[in-house]
């Protein structure tokens, strides 16, 4: 990387850290640190939602998917559009329309209201573990981007650099800083892709002629996928819109129900078609470049020598001129930060409010609580960095984390909101059995019946257990609908 690009990149990263430091002395309590003061507008929230959900992990992961599957990989984010709009119609009115949640901070507080504190504790543990995995995936995404950009940088060193920046920025800034910077970061990334990344990459690989001469025609078809993959994406990604702690924090951060619904509709459109097609197209262009020997100077003589998830940063490094390279890389790194900081905030919130708060009452408005939250964020961020050092695939790590949370939490939250016979014992049993089933199948079984993903079986087990135990062990009083 040219010294001009490196200077741009360093200045950008320092600017992000400076913004986090700016909010360090302005966060006055849990409302500011975890839910952005509860007065954010739909534009900031909508862009923050899509930046968090798609962000750097899916940006790099989508590039890898486009490298392997071609443009049909864009269907993965179609499930994001569906999930966002379903949540806007069915979930947001239940949360923002209920004054019980006007002072809520976390997703498991839904379970605390409809069931018992013990149910919320189990949900908090599952969510905290899942979001630690999400944070790890973002750090890994940043490291992969860095190694594809800086030829002499090894993955472990890149992990330490990216992890340190992401964690320190989040510890200082809190959610208000996260949401405001997400707006800037996502705007820069989108403009960079639309006006720089996509057109220059398309031209560099020889346009349509270069593409058709170097890739299998199947990669240019929207039908290049199996029904099992469709089920996998649908069962893994759509439900996350109903159980994602980062999303509940942003619902709580909105002014009102109307603001939240507008934000979710906006986020869905940005996911698909906008980000979906740009991400997989760049990955496809990278495959063409690899086939043309474009990356031979980087040690990748052809497609077989190129890691699908590093193909995109290698392509950008190769084709972008001095100056634009620094801006484009800064945009990608900022997208990664926008997801990493949100996931880390979610894991911290679960740990402090739902887990520690179960055993000891906390004063959310005190300075002590704020400092303790920042220390907790630092500890979890460090653990997430250690997890990242054991993984090699960004998209796999993200989807494993999704599956772990979804299989345990999705059925109970639907039951809490929509089934009056739901019970606390049923919810806990469903959380434990659903998540355990998915993990055991992922670890022990190589090929499942009909080629389906473990998460499908985990959700099914969760539903069976939830319904059975709720009917056998009803709560003493009560309707779960309010």
**Exposure of 122 in the CB half-sphere (CA atoms within 13 A):** 22
Domains and CATH numbers, the chain: 3-395 (1.20.1730.10)
Task: Kindly report the pTM of this predicted structure.
Answer: 0.87
Closest CA to 59 of 156, 170, 148: 148
Residue 478, pLDDT > 50, answer: no
Residue 479: what pLDDT? 43
What is the length of the chain? 482
Whether 135 contacts 384, CB under 8 Å: yes
Q: What is the pLDDT of residues 452-462, one digit of tens each?
A: 888 899 999 99
CA distance 232 to 234: 6
Residue 312, pLDDT score: 84
pLDDT of 481 > 50? The answer is no
The greatest distance separating any two alpha carbons of the chain, rounded to the nearest whole angstrom, comes to: 70
Q: What is the mean pLDDT of residues 283-312?
A: 88
pLDDT score for 386: 83
pLDDT tens-digit readout, 2-36? 788 778 878 877 887 787 777 777 777 778 888 88
pLDDT above 90 (res 360)? no
Please determine, for residue 279, whether its predicted confidence score (pLDDT) is greater than 50.
yes
Of all residues in the chain, what percent carry a pLDDT higher than 90? 44
For residue 40, list its beta bridge partners: 254
pLDDT bin (cut points 50, 70, 90) of residue 398 is low
Span 253-265, average pLDDT: 94
Mean pLDDT of the chain: 86
Q: Which of 71-75, 315-319, 365-369 has the highest mean pLDDT?
A: 71-75
Residue 126's alpha-carbon distances to 82, 302, 384, 407, 437, in angstroms, are 24, 42, 15, 10, 14
Residues with Cβ within 8 Å of 195's Cβ and at least 6 positions away in sequence, in order, are none
Least reliable range by pLDDT among 16-25, 54-63, 217-226, 344-353? 54-63
- Taking 3-state DSSP, the helix, strand and coil percentages for the chain, each rounded to the nearest 5, stand at 80, 0, 20
| Res 397 pLDDT > 70 | no
pLDDT for 290 beyond 50 = yes
Q: How far apart are CA 58 and CA 401, in angstroms?
A: 13
Tell me what pLDDT residue 423 has: 96
| Burial group, residue 129, by CB count within 10 angstroms (0-12, 13-18, 19+) | middle
DSSP 321: P
> In this predicted model, what pLDDT tens digit does every residue of 130-181 receive, in sequence order?
888 878 877 777 777 677 666 667 777 877 877 787 788 788 877 777 788 7
Mean pLDDT across 67-92: 95
Question: What pLDDT is attached to residue 191?
Answer: 82
């Amino acid at each position: 990387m040219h010294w001009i690009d490196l200077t741009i990149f360093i200045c950008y990263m320092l600017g992000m850290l400076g913004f986090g430091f700016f909010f360090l002395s302005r966060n006055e309590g849990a409302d500011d640190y975890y839910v952005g003061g509860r007065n954010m507008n739909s534009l900031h929230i909508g862009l923050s939602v899509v930046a968090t959900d798609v962000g750097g992990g899916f940006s790099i992961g989508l590039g890898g998917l486009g490298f392997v599957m071609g443009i049909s990989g864009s269907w993965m984010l179609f499930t994001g559009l569906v999930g966002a709009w379903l949540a806007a119609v069915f979930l947001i009115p239940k949360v923002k329309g209920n004054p019980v949640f006007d002072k809520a901070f976390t997703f498991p507080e839904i379970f605390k209201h409809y069931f018992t504190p013990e149910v919320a504790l189990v949900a908090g543990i599952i969510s905290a573990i899942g979001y630690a995995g999400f944070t790890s995936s973002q750090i890994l995404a940043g490291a992969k981007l860095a190694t594809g950009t800086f030829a002499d940088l090894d993955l472990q060193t890149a992990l330490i650099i990216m992890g340190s920046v992401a964690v320190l920025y989040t510890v200082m800034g809190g959610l208000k800083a996260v949401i405001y910077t997400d707006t800037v970061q996502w705007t820069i990334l989108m403009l960079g892709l639309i006006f720089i990344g996509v057109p220059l990459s398309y031209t560099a690989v020889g346009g349509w002629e270069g593409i058709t001469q170097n890739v299998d025609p199947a990669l240019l078809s929207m039908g290049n996928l199996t029904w099992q993959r469709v089920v996998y994406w649908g069962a893994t990604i759509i439900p996350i819109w109903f159980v994602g702690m980062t999303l509940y924090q942003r619902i709580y951060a909105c002014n009102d129900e109307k603001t939240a619904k507008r934000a979710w509709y906006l986020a869905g459109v940005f996911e698909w078609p906008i980000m979906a097609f740009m991400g997989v197209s760049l990955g496809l262009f990278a495959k063409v470049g690899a086939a043309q020997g474009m990356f031979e100077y980087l040690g990748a003589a052809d497609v077989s020598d190129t890691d699908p998830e590093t193909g995109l940063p290698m392509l950008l490094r190769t084709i972008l001129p001095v100056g634009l390279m620094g801006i484009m890389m800064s945009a990608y790194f900022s997208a990664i930060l926008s997801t990493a900081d949100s996931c880390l905030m979610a894991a911290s919130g679960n740990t402090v409010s739902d887990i520690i708060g179960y055993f000891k009452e906390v004063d959310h408005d005190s300075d002590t609580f704020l400092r303790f939250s920042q220390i907790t964020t630092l500890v979890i961020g460090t653990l997430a960095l250690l997890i990242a050092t054991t993984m090699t695939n960004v998209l796999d790590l993200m989807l494993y984390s999704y599956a772990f949370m979804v299989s345990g939490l999705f059925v109970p939250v639907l039951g809490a909101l929509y089934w009056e016979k739901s019970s606390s014992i049923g919810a806990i049993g469903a959380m434990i059995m659903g998540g355990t089933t998915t993990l055991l199948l992922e670890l022990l079984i190589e090929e499942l019946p009909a080629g389906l993903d473990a998460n499908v079986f985990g959700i099914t087990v969760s539903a069976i257990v939830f319904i059975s135990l709720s009917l056998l062990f009803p709560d003493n009083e009560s309707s779960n609908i309010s």
